[in-house]
Amino acid sequence: MIREGLNIIKVGGAIVEDEESLKGLLMSFSGLRGKKILVHGGGKIATEIASRLGVETQMIDGRRITSAEMLKVVTMVYGGLVNKDIVARLQALGENAIGLTGADMNLIMSVKRPVELVNFGYVGDVKYVNTRSLKSILEAGAVPVLAPLTHDKEGTMLNTNADTIASSVARALAGDYSVTLTFCSSTPGVLRNLEDPTTLVKTISKTDFDSMVSDGTISEGMIPKLQNAFEAINDGVSKVVITSPSDLSGGTTILADPETDD
């Protein structure tokens, strides 16, 4: 049986905050035919609004901590302002967008990250994606726009990495659709030299990834992004790409691990 296509596009916080990039991305997104989902990141706007409200941003080892007060701000900013701005703009482009967090229709449930070396606060690790509800929204012809927020089903919202949401939703829906997962980042894809966009790596295997992490070619946010990408391609997602918002059909394609005979 040929499964219907589904495009899942994840757009990072830096793009959401850059007017020109966001405009271009939303235009390209609205040009995609068939079923689609947009997952957006948060960006620095939450930090800016938090400081205006007198809420301090706590950092440990350069990593942001979601305090109880910051959780209120990210819920307002990511689930409200950022999400609804994107929805309104997609509606203007003729897309029947619906903005949702993981709490809506119990779409994405997570558990608060256990305290080990660092207490990240109100950060959720995804445990469950409600494919039935997501499918019903898609089948109704609407376009879900997912904010980087989940819930614990006990009444608490949790701040959740948007790459992880995109990868988890893609894997969960891979049984029903032929899913293409595209991570839109501020770089054209994985680069050999960060300063030089012509050094784009067209395809990357897990072996390439391991050696490029060891020699320092791949670092920072690109490491967890690629880990999410490999999890998706090895768990039924048809195609996984990392690219820039201006080139949805280009970028770096993630290669699945070779099949092993058991």
8 to 42, 144, 248: CA distances (angstroms):
17, 10, 11
Nearest Cα neighbor of 229 from 240, 218, 245, 220 is 240
Nearer CB in complex with ligand ADP: 191/237:
191
| Least distance CB 98 / ligand ADP (angstroms) | 23
Nearest Cα neighbor of 209 from 253, 260, 166, 163 is 253
| Least distance CB 11 / ligand ADP (angstroms) | 8
Nearer CB in complex with ligand ADP: 132/192:
192
Q: What is the CA radius of gyration of the chain?
A: 18
Strands 63-65 and 252-254: unpaired
| Least distance CB 224 / ligand ADP (angstroms) | 7
Contacting residues toward ligand ADP, per CB under 6 A: 12-14, 41, 185-187, 190-191, 194, 217-222, 225
Contact by Cβ (8 Å): 223, 214: no
Nearer CB in complex with ligand ADP: 15/50:
15
Closest CB to ligand ADP belongs to which residue?
221
The CA-to-CA distance between both ends of the chain, in Å, stands at: 26
Nearer CB in complex with ligand ADP: 10/109:
10
| Least distance CB 89 / ligand ADP (angstroms) | 19
